[in-house]
């Protein structure tokens, strides 16, 4: 019970079987938890049909409607903590993240990072096949986040992440308020504010080949306003208070600069 990959899904019937199979067939003891938000295309039924193929390795949590990526992950984090997993991963269902990189994120955490980020925007990272307007939006969001928050993370919107369980335990997960892209920014911001070490591991991100994007204007708006809100709240210590889990004594992964793989 070491490593679990949480995959949130909404209408991913074209990808879900292949991504689950790819993760488990790595043969590196990754379990998979799918959080499906009542996908009308029957994604959850495909997951259930795979239970006999991957007994004890594949799990499904079904929610009633599309409640957002952020709350899906919070649900998954709580589930994974309760089951005792030590390394808890976030990954998309659409093969934008290469399952073969999971082990590199794991090794970064096993090596001492509290959070390992699969990063497109550090040396060695890349984005393939994304239209130039998507790249501009993503890079713009990263730069905007760095300027406003001063958080020294090159890819703050990344959705390919490994957390040590202690990092999630130290957080008041109900205090994380954003649901779209801003959720990804907020999780990293919270880990950073709580003093955990973060390491960016270069990855190549590929555009989805199958299924439809869930990106929309509301997600962008939440990001723009959300980052300002995070910065504002953190000025007055309210933020730290809100996202920290008071029962937890923090000392396991002391604060240090954000590190980049290959640079010490
Ligand atoms: N459970 C759940 N999963 C979601 C929700 N919104 C998106 N997802 C899943 O989250 C992952 C990322 O969503 P994507 O649509 O790929 O978002 P994106 O990567 O920004 O956009 P594209 O790459 O252009 O598709 C995918 O696995 C989606 O199925 C949601 O509201 N609930
Ligand atoms: Mg995607």
Q: What is the mean pLDDT of each run of 10 residues along the chain (264 residues)?
A: 95 97 97 98 98 98 94 97 98 97 98 97 94 90 93 96 97 89 93 95 93 76 87 80 73 56 59
Give the residue, by CA position, lying nearest to ligand 1 atom 29: 9
Domain chopping of the chain, boundaries = 3-246
Q: What's the 4 CA to ligand 1 centre distance in angstroms?
A: 19
214, 215, 218, best to mutate for ligand 1 pocket (most atoms within 8 Å of CB): 214
In the numeric block, which tokens belong to residue 1?
């019970």
**Distance in angstroms (rounded) separating the CA atoms of residues 260 and 218:** 31
For residue 73, how far is its CA from the centre of ligand 1 (angstroms)?
Answer: 11
Which protein residue has the closest C-alpha to ligand 1 atom 9? Answer: 9
CA of 91 to the centre of ligand 1 (A): 10
Per-position DSSP letters for 81-118, written without gaps between them: HHHT-SEEEE--SSSSS-GGGHHHHHHHHHTT-SEEEE
Ligand 1, residue 11: give the atom nearest the CA.
Answer: 29
What pLDDT sits at residue 232?
Answer: 86
Q: What is the pLDDT of residue 253?
A: 52
- The residue whose CA has the least distance to atom 11 of ligand 1 is 92
pLDDT (0 to 100) of residue 239: 80
Q: What is the pLDDT of residue 235?
A: 82
How many A from CA of 120 to the centre of ligand 2? 14
CA of 240 to the centre of ligand 2 (A): 30
Minimal CA–CA distance to 121: which of 146, 97, 94, 156? 156
Give every CB contact of residue 233 below 8 A, 6+ residues apart in sequence.
Answer: 239, 242
Among all bound ligands, the one having the nearest atom to the CA of 62 is 1
* pTM, to two decimals: 0.92
Mean pLDDT of all residues in the chain?
Answer: 91
- Which CATH code fits 3-246? 3.90.550.10
72 burial class (0-12, 13-18, 19+ CB within 10 angstroms)?
Answer: buried
Q: What is the residue-wise DSSP string for 111-156?
A: TT-SEEEEESSSTT-EEES--HHHHHHHHHHHHHHHHHH----S-T
Q: Any residues with Cβ below 6 Å from ligand 1, and which?
A: 8-10, 12, 35-37, 66-69, 72, 92-94, 96, 208, 213-215
Say how many Å lie between the CA of residue 188 and the centre of ligand 1.
Answer: 18
Q: What percent of the chain has pLDDT over 90?
A: 73
Mutate to test the pocket of ligand 1, among 6, 7, 10 (most ligand atoms within 8 A of CB): 10
């Amino acid at each position: 019970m070491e490593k679990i990959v949480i995959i949130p899904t909404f209408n991913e019937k074209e990808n879900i079987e292949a991504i689950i199979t790819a993760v488990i067939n790595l043969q590196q003891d990754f379990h998979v938890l799918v959080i499906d938000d009542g996908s009308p295309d029957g994604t959850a039924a495909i997951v259930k049909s795979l239970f006999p193929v991957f007994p004890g390795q594949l799990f499904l949590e079904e929610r009633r409607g599309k409640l957002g990526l952020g709350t899906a992950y919070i649900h998954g984090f709580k589930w994974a903590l309760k089951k005792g997993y030590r390394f808890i991963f976030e990954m998309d269902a659409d093969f934008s993240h290469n399952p073969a990189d999971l082990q590199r994120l794991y090794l970064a955490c096993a090596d001492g990072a509290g959070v390992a980020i699969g990063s497109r925007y550090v040396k060695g990272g890349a984005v393939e096949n994304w239209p130039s307007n998507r790249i501009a939006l993503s890079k713009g969001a990263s730069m905007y986040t760095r300027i406003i928050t001063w958080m020294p993370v090159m890819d703050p919107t990344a959705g390919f992440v490994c957390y040590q369980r202690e990092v999630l335990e130290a957080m008041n997960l109900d205090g994380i308020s954003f649901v779209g892209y801003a959720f990804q920014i907020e999780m990293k911001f919270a880990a950073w504010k709580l003093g955990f070490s973060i390491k960016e591991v270069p990855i190549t991100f590929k555009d989805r080949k199958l299924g439809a994007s869930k990106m929309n204007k509301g997600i962008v708006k939440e990001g723009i306003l959300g980052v300002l809100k995070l910065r504002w709240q953190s000025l007055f210590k309210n933020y730290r208070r809100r996202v920290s889990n008071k029962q937890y004594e923090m000392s396991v992964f002391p604060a240090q600069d954000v590190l980049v793989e290959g640079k010490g």
